[in-house]
Amino acid sequence: MIYKMKSRNLGILLLSALFALTGCSSKSDAPAPSAQQKTVVPTVCVYTLGKVRNDLQRAMMDSLRAHYPKCRLAGHLPLPDSALTTKRNDHRRYRADLLNKVLVRYKSDTTIVVGLTQADIGLDNFRGRPHSGIMGLANGIGTGVAVFSSYRPRGNGQLFSVMLHELGHAQGLRHCPDTKCMMQNANGGNPFSKTNVFCEKCKKFMASKHWRL
Ligand SMILES: [Zn+2]
Ligand SMILES: [Zn+2]
């Protein structure tokens, strides 16, 4: 909760600063509040969920910084037992939808929140199966919240692709019909072993959200 309050305070400070900067212009010159908000680039806040190796954290933050102007390692959160799937007694797997419900508490108007975990994550009653393991999940299209796991992807390159795919959803992209695009539906497979690029259309959308891909 501390992080959420900090982000909100920061948001208020930023808005106050914007108003202060435009304070000299006449009323007719002042942009509408909605136009001002559009200029604020949200910060991608990465939270680790459970124990995450330092080199993994560093690799994801370095890759993120190379493609997005504002990002930070925002905090470390425990993996709540309440998010464990009840459908596996032999294996600890956390429900990605419930982890997103934890992450959403840290979201503010000026942030995008993404959770990184080493734990296995999955969904119950997904694709006609009682339980499935997955690589990542956005809380919804354009909601600005997502979680991803290093349990299934092979190597940091694939892991970063999973992160970008879920951030794509979090920013507003749906699955892409282009089979060369990394926003394609994984359909239970791992498309990131074949592609690590966005198609021109998805790239253009992400560019409008300040991503350099
Ligand atoms: Zn997807
Ligand atoms: Zn695409």
Q: What is the mean pLDDT of the chain?
A: 87
In the chain, where the domains are located: 1-40, 42-208
- Dihedral angle at the C-alpha atoms of 50, 175, 170, 143, nearest 10 degrees? -120
Per-residue pLDDT band for 201 (boundaries 50, 70, 90) equals very high
From the CA of 101, how far away is ligand 2's center (Å)?
A: 27
From the CA of 65, how far away is ligand 2's center (Å)?
A: 22
Q: What is the pTM of this model?
A: 0.82
From the CA of 39, how far away is ligand 1's center (Å)?
A: 27
Contact at 8 Å (CB) between 127 and 133?
no
* Mean pLDDT value of segment 30-46: 74
154-188, pLDDT tens digit by residue? 999 999 999 999 999 999 999 999 999 999 999 88
User: How crowded is residue 23: how many other Cβ atoms within 10 Å of its Cβ?
Assistant: 8
The closest of 47, 22, 49 to 37, measured between CA atoms, is 22
Residues with CB under 5 A from ligand 2 (ion): 176, 178, 181, 183, 199, 202
Counting ligands in written order, the one closest to the CA of 176 is 2
Question: What is the second-level CATH architecture of the domain 42-208?
Answer: 3-Layer(aba) Sandwich (3.40)
45-103, pLDDT tens digit by residue? 999 999 999 999 999 999 999 999 999 999 999 999 999 999 998 999 999 999 999 99
